[in-house]
């Protein structure tokens, strides 16, 4: 949630910050604001609504200072108003603060500060922290001290419960920013004579590719000349420099109408990047270089636990089907948000995997920590090098699909499906999957990008279907076995970006209740594979048709559907069962996208959603 940008250098801060906020708007777009420091005061502009409204409706772009910070908000405490927008000022005007996260004990702190005469202009928990810093600052000796600002922030944070990524400026300390994180990401960009601070590298990549990822419990102090990192206990931390591997061009639309469209069509290349260098020389299995677990130890795992949220959870459900099918090992899939509160019995030889595109999903991070607390090894699948989940896991697999800007996941999801299929192969070959079956499986995986290209070529056909079906307000998505999670994902995509109610079910479960919804006004999207499930799925389709329900069939080319059974047919290539979920996902991504466009929705910034969920 929420996007943070900060700048210290020699150039005009406002234009750099506003550009960064536009690139971070996918993290929250309820309101936006900016504070620039000049001559011992703050120039502040903030406004409910999009960043563009902040730029057009205020003097923000005219602020002339060279130190500043900006924020784009996803509302938690307090409504979507100008007053609740960040930055917030302390009641004495000394401090400006922006914040990503939730301060859980803000009410008790607010009562204390009210008793000390501090006042509040908003409903937010953030303003409480800003005034708490001011309180500790006033308790310090009146004499000037180079560390007084930093120490006031440190002391205030020791009283805070909850999650935060913050940036603070003090009127008495020109050209300085103090930042800190606990549970919410913050990245320092080190440029040529300048420093930048951001929640995501997309905000700073146009100015530098050299970054330092802050860890939980660390405090960053930036001046014009240098920076330092310490802990809450004031211990010095040696910074670890990383270099971002992608460029600003990867985060641009490149001629597409929306990032979601761009990222759907990037999937063949993204899948190739996910696979690159990850097959054995004999072509019979997958290789993963960063798992940090030996084949012997992997062989002794008797149950896998997968933890994820949202689309990543759907990818884990597919991985469960494939690992049990090809490796014959039981798999448990948990919502990460529920796992830490459960007390389920766990096998001693279990191995955990977390799936998170951003590597910052707070529920998944909490589940990872809970599993490690119980003594288990946890491996991670994520797309962001240097993310918190990547750092705290025991090993893992990077997706290598490049930045995903659209809020609704597309290329990151199919990449996770691919990694799940590769894990099933990797584990299966350690057990009882034969060499020849492994070779066949690898060839199927290598062929996925071309299969996806074939589906993308049908975009005009799918766009026409979307135009005819955009008027409906309810949809069912139905599939069997590994295509049931794809049905869940299809329903989620439609809900996320078009605001149409949609539900995903196993096709056979339709007659156990959801069939009550069937009418001419509730279309059903069926995933129809060849093989043993074909006749079962066709039977479910006939039950829908008997009740005058409309049917859109996503069917493999070798399926001979009874004449007139489906109102619309989207054909996908016949393929290996391990890659079928990937190929079947692409049509419903396109269908959801084109329906949302037909309804003139804000596809990349759907209401109430943000790309990275960093609050519980």
**Backbone φ, ψ for residue 605 (5° rounding):** -135, 65
Read off the pLDDT of each residue in 420-445 and give the average, rounded to a whole number: 95
Which pLDDT does position 248 carry in this prediction? Answer: 66
pLDDT at 354 over 70: yes
The sheet carrying 568-572 orders its strands as 501-506, 474-479, 524-528, 551-556, 568-572
Q: Is 341 exposed, middle or buried (0-12, 13-18, 19+ CB in 10 A)?
A: exposed
pLDDT confidence band for 360 (50 / 70 / 90): confident
> At how many degrees (to 10) do helices 411-430 and 267-275 cross?
30
pLDDT tens for each residue of 192-248: 889 999 988 888 888 888 999 998 899 999 999 999 999 999 999 999 888 887 666
Same domain, 241 and 280: no
Strand partners, 307: 334, 354
Same domain, 407 and 473: no
Distances (CA, A) of 309 to 45, 312, 425: 35, 6, 24
Residue 262 belongs to what domain range? 253-446
Identified catalytic residue from 411, 495, 605, 611: 611
- Strand ranges, E, within 19-138: 31-38, 41-48, 67-73, 88-89, 95-103
Same domain, 172 and 205: yes
Q: What distance separates the 2 farthest-apart alpha carbons in the chain?
A: 87
pLDDT tens for each residue of 558-581: 888 888 899 999 999 999 999 999
pLDDT confidence band for 612 (50 / 70 / 90): low
pLDDT at 616 over 70: no
pLDDT at 154 over 90: yes
611 is catalytic: yes
**Backbone φ, ψ for residue 397 (5° rounding):** -130, 120
Task: Establish if 612 belongs to a structural domain.
Answer: no
- B/e letters for 431-455, b = 16+ CB within 10 Å, e = fewer, are eebeeeebeebbebbeebbebbebb
Which pLDDT does position 137 carry in this prediction? Answer: 93
Q: Are strands 67-73 and 3-8 parallel, antiparallel or unpaired?
A: antiparallel
Residues comprising the chain, all counted = 616
pLDDT at 530 over 70: yes
| CATH number for 557 | 3.40.50.10490
Task: Establish if 454 belongs to a structural domain.
Answer: no
Distance separating alpha carbons of residues 411 and 265, to the nearest angstrom? 8
pLDDT at 108 over 70: yes
Which pLDDT does position 613 carry in this prediction? Answer: 62
Contact status, residue 351 vs residue 295, Cβ threshold 8 Å: no
Task: Establish if 312 belongs to a structural domain.
Answer: yes
Distances (CA, A) of 142 to 37, 147, 176, 430: 22, 13, 19, 68
In what helix (H) or strand (E) does residue 271 lie, and over which residues does it extend? helix 267-275
Read off the pLDDT of each residue in 91-118 and give the average, rounded to a whole number: 92
Distances (CA, A) of 329 to 33, 43, 319, 367, 565: 51, 60, 11, 22, 38
Distances (CA, A) of 432 to 151, 299, 349: 60, 11, 19
Distance of CA 482 to the CA centre of its chain: 23
pLDDT tens for each residue of 29-46: 788 899 999 888 898 998
Which pLDDT does position 608 carry in this prediction? Answer: 74
- B/e letters for 194-221, b = 16+ CB within 10 Å, e = fewer, are bbbbbbbbbbbbbbbbebbbbbbbbbbb
Same domain, 471 and 592: yes
Contact status, residue 324 vs residue 431, Cβ threshold 8 Å: no
608 vs 465 pLDDT, higher one? 465
Distance separating alpha carbons of residues 290 and 492, to the nearest angstrom? 31
Same domain, 156 and 117: yes
pLDDT tens for each residue of 174-191: 999 999 998 888 999 999
Read off the pLDDT of each residue in 69-73 and give the average, rounded to a whole number: 90
Contact status, residue 251 vs residue 403, Cβ threshold 8 Å: yes
Same domain, 241 and 350: no
Upstream peptide bond of 93 is cis (omega within 30 degrees of 0):
no
Which pLDDT does position 615 carry in this prediction? Answer: 55
2 is catalytic: yes
Q: What is the pTM of this model?
A: 0.83
Last residue of a domain, one of 249, 282, 314: 249
Distance separating alpha carbons of residues 605 and 46, to the nearest angstrom? 20
Last residue of a domain, one of 411, 446, 481: 446
Same domain, 503 and 530: yes
Contact status, residue 71 vs residue 109, Cβ threshold 8 Å: no
Task: Establish if 451 belongs to a structural domain.
Answer: no
pLDDT confidence band for 507 (50 / 70 / 90): confident
Which pLDDT does position 511 carry in this prediction? Answer: 78
| CATH number for 131 | 3.60.20.10
Task: Establish if 616 belongs to a structural domain.
Answer: no
Which pLDDT does position 204 carry in this prediction? Answer: 86
Same domain, 224 and 179: yes
Same domain, 9 and 32: yes
pLDDT at 533 over 90: no
The two three-digit tokens of residue 360, written as one number? 């910052």
Contact status, residue 335 vs residue 318, Cβ threshold 8 Å: no
Last residue of a domain, one of 249, 273, 302: 249
Q: Which of 57-71, 405-419, 421-435 has the lowest mean pLDDT?
A: 57-71
**Backbone φ, ψ for residue 481 (5° rounding):** 50, -125
Q: To the nearest whole number, what is the mean pLDDT of the chain?
A: 90
Distance separating alpha carbons of residues 21 and 28, to the nearest angstrom? 10
Same domain, 507 and 407: no
- Strand ranges, E, within 321-394: 331-335, 350-356, 378-382
Read off the pLDDT of each residue in 47-69 and give the average, rounded to a whole number: 84
Helix (H, G, I), strand (E, B), or coil: what is residue 534?
A: helix
Q: Among 103, 18, 79, which residue's Cα sits nearest to residue 52?
A: 18
Distance separating alpha carbons of residues 515 and 510, to the nearest angstrom? 5
Task: Establish if 139 belongs to a structural domain.
Answer: yes
Same domain, 226 and 258: no
Same domain, 326 and 370: yes
Which DSSP state fits 460? H
Identified catalytic residue from 2, 130, 309, 575: 2
pLDDT tens for each residue of 313-351: 999 999 999 999 999 999 999 999 999 888 888 888 899
pLDDT tens for each residue of 440-488: 999 999 999 999 999 999 999 999 999 999 999 999 999 989 999 999 9
Contact status, residue 493 vs residue 589, Cβ threshold 8 Å: yes
Q: Are strands 474-479 and 524-528 parallel, antiparallel or unpaired?
A: parallel
Read off the pLDDT of each residue in 289-300 and give the average, rounded to a whole number: 88
Label each residue of 119-187 as H, E or C: CCCCCCCHHHHHHHHHHHHHHCCCCCCCCHHHHHHHHHHCCCCEEEEEEEEECCCCCEEEEEEEECCCE
pLDDT tens for each residue of 302-323: 999 999 999 999 999 999 999 9
Task: Establish if 598 belongs to a structural domain.
Answer: yes
Distance separating alpha carbons of residues 279 and 457, to the nearest angstrom? 28
**Count of structural domains, the chain:** 3
Task: Establish if 25 belongs to a structural domain.
Answer: yes
């Amino acid at each position: 949630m929420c996007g943070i940008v900060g700048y210290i250098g020699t150039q005009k801060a406002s234009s750099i910050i506003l550009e960064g906020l536009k690139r971070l708007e996918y993290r929250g777009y309820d309101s936006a604001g900016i504070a620039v420091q000049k001559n011992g005061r703050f120039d502040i502009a903030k406004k409910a609504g999009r960043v563009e409204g902040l730029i057009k409706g205020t003097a923000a772009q005219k602020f002339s200072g060279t130190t500043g910070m900006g924020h784009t908000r996803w509302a938690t405490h307090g409504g979507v108003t100008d007053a609740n927008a960040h930055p917030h000022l302390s009641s004495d005007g000394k401090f400006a603060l922006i914040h990503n996260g939730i301060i859980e004990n803000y009410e008790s702190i607010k009562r204390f500060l009210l008793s000390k005469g501090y006042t509040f202009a908003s409903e937010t928990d953030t303003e409480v922290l800003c005034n708490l810093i001011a309180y500790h600052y006033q308790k310090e000796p009146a004499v000037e001290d180079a560390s007084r600002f930093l120490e006031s922030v440190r002391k205030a944070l020791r009283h805070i419960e909850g999650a935060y990524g913050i940036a603070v400026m003090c009127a008495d300390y020109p050209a300085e920013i103090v930042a800190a994180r606990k549970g919410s990401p913050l990245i320092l960009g080190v440029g040529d004579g300048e420093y930048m601070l951001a929640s995501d590298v997309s905000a700073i990549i146009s100015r530098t590719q050299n970054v330092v990822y802050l860890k939980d419990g660390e405090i960053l102090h930036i001046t014009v000349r240098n920076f330092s990192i310490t802990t809450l206990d004031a211990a010095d931390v040696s910074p670890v420099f990383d270099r971002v591997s992608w460029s600003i061009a990867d985060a641009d639309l490149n001629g597409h109408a929306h990032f979601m469209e761009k990222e759907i069509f990037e999937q063949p290349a993204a899948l190739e990047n996910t696979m690159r260098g990850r097959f054995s020389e004999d072509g019979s299995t997958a290789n993963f270089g960063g798992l940090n677990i030996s084949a012997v130890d992997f062989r002794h795992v008797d149950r896998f636990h997968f933890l994820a949220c949202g689309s990543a959870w759907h990818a884990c459900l597919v991985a469960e089907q494939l690992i049990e099918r090809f490796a014959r090992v039981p798999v448990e899939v948990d919502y990460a948000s529920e796992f830490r509160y459960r007390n389920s019995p766990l096998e001693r030889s279990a191995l955990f995997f977390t799936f998170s595109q951003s590597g910052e999903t707070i529920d998944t991070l909490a589940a990872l920590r809970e599993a490690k607390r119980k003594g288990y090894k946890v491996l991670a699948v994520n797309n962001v090098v240097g993310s918190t989940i990547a750092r705290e896991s025991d090993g893992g697999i990077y997706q290598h699909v490049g930045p995903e800007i659209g809020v609704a996941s597309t290329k990151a999801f199919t990449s996770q499906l691919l990694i799940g299929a590769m894990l099933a192969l990797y584990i299966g070959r350690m057990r009882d999957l034969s060499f020849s079956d492994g070779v066949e499986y690898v060839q199927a995986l290598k062929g996925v990008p071309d299969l996806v290209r074939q589906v993308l070529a049908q975009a005009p056909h799918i766009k026409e279907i979307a135009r005819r079906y955009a008027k409906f307000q309810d949809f069912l998505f139905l599939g069997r076995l590994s295509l049931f999670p794809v049905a869940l994902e299809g329903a989620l995509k439609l809900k996320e970006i078009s605001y149409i109610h949609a539900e995903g079910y196993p096709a056979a479960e339709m007659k156990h209740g959801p069939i009550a919804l069937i009418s001419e006004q509730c279309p059903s999207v069926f995933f129809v594979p060849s093989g043993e499930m074909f006749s079962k799925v066709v039977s479910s389709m006939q039950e829908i048709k008997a009740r005058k329900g409309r049917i859109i069939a996503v069917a493999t080319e070798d399926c001979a559907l009874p004449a007139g059974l489906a109102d619309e047919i989207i054909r996908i290539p016949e393929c290996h069962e391990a890659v079928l979920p990937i190929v079947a996902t692409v049509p419903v991504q396109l269908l959801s996208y084109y329906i949302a466009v037909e309804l003139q929705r804000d596809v990349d910034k759907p209401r109430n959603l943000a790309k990275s969920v960093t609050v519980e």
